[in-house]
């Protein structure tokens, strides 16, 4: 663990989002290290919080070393720390909370960096999963502000295959008998349990179960134990259902070609994918996992082929699927950190 600033909150005042305007939008963040050092932005993923989940990459013996870098971790809108359906007062509470895009999050993070922290340039934007998609957005939204970017198990846009997956857990949650169209007055346990089970199917690679057992190598456990403990238990008492839906919506509509457009509902109406990626100035280290079912390496290969900035593709050779990128096991974590460290120092 590395000591940081503790969670801080930046008040934007009135802030435009893709689905409307919040009268007092809030971005939660933490800082590590000396502000005089090169700045690294490290935003959260789906299910990530700055108060507990980012430090697997931060420390004197880790890739993001606070003695070398000024590290700023950011909480996504709707993660329960930044402005979210669960913590925003009426009339924007719960199901009335507006839709949020990745671009909204990047604009908010930029405001914190420039207005509050006096950061003049970001040396690197790095993230895992939804954090990786934000890393892709940074050099597109602010092309002259970012020098490097590292998406780990992420993508420049959410593929149709990925969207099909997202429809499963979303349907399980919003159609449950206790979700009540988002107007629930107590935790919708049926919906959250169903959501967790539907979400579990793609988290690990296909060979992970065979090689590691259901509960991280415990051969005495069962599939039911895995689903109940790891997935139902991971959301119950921890996540607000409306927060999960709004976050999922941000993920669903992730697409760097939509930056600057007035709405993100018309995804893929005009495909500028090649021109958008080829225009990226920042140098990237693109790190998919070989067995990731959310963001397969084939998509990353296409993305790197379209970039003209000597970006590098490094595939994580792991059976852990999407979970390889989130600090869940020593072998993959050591491999990722070594590659990140070398890229940052190059």
Catalytic residues: 129, 292, 322
CA 271 to chain centre: 23
Inter-residue contact 122 to 40 (CB < 8 Å): yes
CB under 8 Å, gap of 24 or more: what pairs does 231-235 form? 231/196, 231/197, 231/199, 231/200, 232/192, 232/193, 232/196, 232/197, 233/196, 234/47, 234/196, 235/192, 235/193, 235/195, 235/196
Residue 178: CB atoms within 10 Å: 14
Helix 189-200 to helix 241-252 angle, to the nearest 10 degrees?
40
Inter-residue contact 141 to 107 (CB < 8 Å): yes
Q: Decide: helix, strand or coil at residue 182.
A: helix
Inter-residue contact 8 to 28 (CB < 8 Å): yes
Residue 307: CB atoms within 10 Å: 23
Going by C-alpha positions, the residue among 285, 296, 281 that lies closest to residue 340 is 285
Transcribe 14-74 into DSSP letters: EEEETTEEEEEEEEEEEEES-TTSPEEEEE--TT--TTTSSGGGBSTTSSB-TTT-EEEEE
Which residues, listed in sequence order, are joined to residue 127 by a DSSP beta bridge?
151
């Amino acid at each position: 663990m590395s000591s940081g600033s503790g969670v801080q909150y930046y008040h934007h005042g009135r802030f435009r989002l893709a689905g409307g305007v919040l009268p007092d939008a809030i971005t939660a963040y933490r800082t590590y290290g000396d502000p005089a050092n090169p700045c690294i932005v490290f935003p959260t993923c789906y299910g990530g919080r700055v108060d507990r989940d980012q430090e697997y990459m931060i420390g004197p013996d880790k890739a993001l070393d606070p003695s070398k870098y000024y590290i700023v971790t950011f909480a996504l809108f709707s993660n329960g720390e930044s402005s979210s359906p669960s913590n925003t007062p009426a009339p924007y509470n719960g199901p009335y909370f507006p839709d949020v895009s990745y671009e909204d999050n990047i604009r908010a993070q930029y405001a914190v960096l420039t207005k509050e922290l006096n950061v003049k340039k970001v040396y690197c934007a790095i993230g895992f999963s939804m954090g990786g998609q934000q890393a892709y957005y940074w050099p597109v939204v602010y092309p002259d502000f970012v020098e490097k970017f590292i998406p780990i198990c992420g993508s420049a846009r959410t593929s149709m295959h990925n969207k099909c997956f997202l429809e499963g857990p979303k349907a399980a949650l919003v159609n449950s008998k206790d979700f009540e169209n988002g107007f629930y007055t107590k935790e919708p346990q049926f919906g959250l349990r169903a959501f967790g089970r539907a979400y579990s199917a793609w988290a690990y690679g296909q060979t992970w179960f065979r090689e590691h057992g259901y509960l991280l190598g415990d051969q005495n456990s069962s599939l039911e134990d895995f689903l109940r403990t790891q997935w139902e238990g991971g959301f119950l008492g921890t996540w607000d259902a409306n927060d999960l839906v709004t976050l999922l919506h941000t993920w669903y509509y992730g697409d760097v070609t939509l930056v600057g457009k007035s709405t993100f509902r018309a995804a893929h109406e005009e495909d500028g994918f090649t021109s958008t990626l080829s225009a990226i100035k920042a140098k990237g280290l693109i790190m998919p996992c070989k067995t990731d079912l959310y963001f397969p390496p084939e998509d990353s290969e296409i993305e790197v082929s379209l970039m003209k900035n000597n970006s590098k593709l490094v595939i994580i050779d792991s059976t852990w699927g999407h979970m390889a990128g989130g600090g869940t096991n020593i072998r993959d974590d050591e491999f990722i950190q070594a590659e990140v460290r070398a890229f940052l120092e190059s």
